[in-house]
Amino acid sequence: MSQSLHLTAFMRPVSLHTGAWRYPGAYADANFNFTHLKAFAQALERAKFDAFFMADHLAVLNMPVEALKRSHTVTSFEPFTLLSALAAVTERIGLAATASTTFDEPYHVARRFASLDHISGGRAAWNIVTTSNPDAARNFGLSDHVEHGERYKRAREFFDVVTGLWDSFADDAIIRDQESGIFFDPERMHVLDHKGEEFSVRGPLNIARPVQGWPVIVQAGQSEPGKQLAAETAEVVFAAPRDFATARALYADIKGRMPAAGRNPDHLKILPAAMIVIGETVEEAREKRARLDSLVHYDSAIASLSIALGHDASGFDPDGPLPEIPETNASKSGRAQVLRLAEEEKLTVRQLAQRYGGYAGLAFVGTKETIADEMERWLHEQAADGFTCVFPFLPQGLEDVTGTLVPELQRRGLFRTDYEGATLREHLGLPRPANRFFP
């Protein structure tokens, strides 16, 4: 259990909320205008955030066209190019990129993260995903998605290969003695020669060991094999619990698996994703959120809701409550989440659709004090080691967090007032991994 919070910013492609680009003052072009991303990253660095996280998908998101044409997700930067550019204009903030183990190659992934780690002076992190969007498969020569269990099997071996490649050179292998002309010591280079069920990769990597030894390993899978992979490999988990109770259960579950995997539970930070909407009063915050939700077009919202329910909702009375609907084969957890939301907040069909079509995950909506109270509780009661902040809209939603919530957390001693170390590992309080071939 940490004594203070870790905060990362979840940028995908800018805000996750589908109405965000329409909010008053929003930069509608931020998904492909680097100037804005640079300003966001620099503001987060001034607020001493642990990391800027660029989520990623390998296809246009699968939505009905009525929703898609209203969605800013249709265009976005690619993470390595974006984060490398940000590395050059920031100095301390961590840079976490998603890379897929299902549709990429270990040699490429190992190299890019090692290179980002060298460019940024030790600030890179890899969010290992197995890619749940089935449309991605069709962009990579497959007609069907790779099966879930097989994806995780491949992910586990992918991790072994990538970390093995990062260990190609001992930390002291590169001598570069201009006098003798010896650039490196071949005895301190390891040829991996990996031959596994999924991969054959010879190595060595053609880049010196990363500054952090290994870039920080992040995992965000929520399934049984996802949690197991996290317990075995991850140093940060981006979680998506719906509330405090599920967060605590998840926290105990994943950390509980770690000793059996030979790991210290302190070497993993669990950071649930939470949208943060701040007002001068709780009422004002709720109004901001309602206003934001109202920017999700009804056609688009109802299309998303129909998919989640597995039932065409377009004929329902928008201003009435959600009617009884028969169970179908649609994703059970998605459907259950919608039904719960409708019941808990007594939303009309329209509000429910807009909420669901906007951002359906965990949200802290209140004043800086009420939100700091919540965060403090999650931290102290072992539901979280910090949060992966989702900004409701940009730039204002981000400035609300950095300008009001962060100072409040700092006042309470819950968040750093300056970076203490230089690398992301140091920000997170994580050990630098030993080289497995040159311990």
Ligand X SMILES: Cc1cc2nc3c(=O)[nH]c(=O)nc-3n(C[C@H](O)[C@H](O)[C@H](O)COP(=O)(O)O)c2cc1C
Which residues of this chain interact with ligand X, rule CB under 6 A?
Answer: 10, 55-57, 98, 127, 129-132, 220-223, 226, 238-240, 273, 388
Q: Which residues pair with 269 in a beta bridge?
A: 236
Bridge partners, 217 (sequence order): 126
Decide which of its own copies, ligand X, none touches 129; Cβ closer than 5 to 8 Å per partner kind: ligand X
Q: Judged by CB under 8 A, which stretch of 52-60, 152-160, 257-265, 430-438 contacts its own copies?
A: 52-60
Partner from ligand X, its own copies, none contacting 139, C-beta within 5 to 8 A by type: its own copies
Contact (Cβ atoms closer than 8 angstroms) between residue 89 and residue 41: yes
Q: How many residues touch its own copies (CB under 8 A)?
A: 79
Q: Is 297 in the site for its own copies (CB under 8 A)?
A: yes
We find the least distance from the C-beta atom of residue 155 to its own copies, in angstroms, to be: 16
The piece of 57-65, 253-261, 343-351, 381-389 that touches its own copies (CB under 8 A) is 57-65
Under rule CB under 8 A, which residues in 172-211 are in contact with its own copies? 174, 176, 178, 181-186, 189, 199-204, 206-208
CA-wise closest residue to 8 among 50, 41, 46, 45:
50
Ranges within 63-102 binding its own copies (CB under 8 A)? 65, 68-78, 80-89
SS3 labels along 183-234: EECHHHECCCCEECCCCEECCCCCCCCCCCCCCEEEECCCCHHHHHHHHHHC
Polymer length of the chain: 439
Q: Is 144 in the site for its own copies (CB under 8 A)?
A: no
State in angstroms the smallest separation of the CB of 52 from ligand X: 13
Comparison of 230 and 349: residue with beta carbon closer to ligand X: 230
Q: Is residue 28 involved in binding its own copies (CB under 8 A)?
A: yes
Pairing mode of beta strands 194-195, 200-201 = antiparallel
Write out the two tokens for 198.
Answer: 């999924």
Q: Choosing among its own copies, ligand X, none, which partner's interface includes residue 32 (Cβ < 5 to 8 Å by kind)?
A: its own copies
CA dist 64 and 412 (Å) reads 45
Q: How far apart are CA 221 and CA 131, in angstroms?
A: 9
* Residue 273 binding target from its own copies, ligand X, none, CB below 5 to 8 Å by type: ligand X
Q: Which of 111, 320, 339, 330 is nearest to 208 (CA)?
A: 111
Quote the least distance from Cβ 160 to ligand X, whole Å: 19
In the complex with ligand X, the residue whose CB is nearer, 133 or 410, is 133
Distances from the Cα of 164 to the Cα of 75, 108, 237, 252, angstroms:
34, 13, 22, 29
DSSP string, 75-103: S---HHHHHHHHHHT-SSSEEEEEEESSS
Nearest approach, Cβ of residue 229 and ligand X (Å): 8
Q: Please identify, using beta-carbon distances, which residue of 201 and 372 lies nearer to its own copies.
A: 201
Q: Closer to its own copies by CB, 111 or 311: give it.
A: 111
Which residue, 115 or 223, is less far from ligand X as judged by CB?
223
